[in-house]
Amino acid sequence: MTLRRLTAAGSVVLAGLLVAAGCGSPDVRASRDLGDEVKVDGYRRAADYAKGNTTEVSFVGPAGVNLETAVSVTGWSPGPPPEGFPDTPAFEWVLHGSARSGDRDCVALVKKLRRGKEQFARGLSSQEMQDLTAGQLDYVEISFVCNPGA
């Protein structure tokens, strides 16, 4: 095989990997950008997870904080979860809202880990895990899902 064919084949493989990883999608980039930017006042970023056009960021911080005012991200307009929005066994949905990244409309979903479900927390030190179990800390996950703007 010639060097030109190897380079072309390598480019095709690299492009395929980037598309498979979602790097080529504007929705994925928008979701990742919001995930990189989001902050929760008084909380520490504990873990990040991304799959497809969804980015999820976890935070740990003092229990009882008003998340509606503590969460900050571009274009954040929080409100309660939609009526009938199903909770999960481990998490309770606490906020739902919109955010914007470039020309992408995004949905931001905030959920809080239920007491007794600490095994689902990621990225915590052993001391934070003890404090979470004792009810001194809350563990929050914020998910962003982005789609093309209207």
Strands (E), 34-88: 39-40, 44-51, 54-62, 71-72, 77-79
Task: Give the percent of the chain with pLDDT over 90.
Answer: 51
Kindly state the average pLDDT of the residues 32-40. 91
> 16: pLDDT confidence band, cut at 50, 70 and 90?
very low
What's the pLDDT at 17? 37
pTM of this structure:
0.79
- Structure token digits, residue 93: 């949905």
What's the pLDDT at 105? 82
Longest dimension (CA), the chain: 64
- Structure token digits, residue 86: 């199903």
CA distances from residue 146 to 40, 60, 120, 143 in whole angstroms, order as listed = 20, 24, 25, 10
Over the chain, what is the mean pLDDT? Answer: 83
pLDDT tens column, 79-128: 998 888 777 899 999 999 988 887 788 899 999 999 999 999 999 999 99
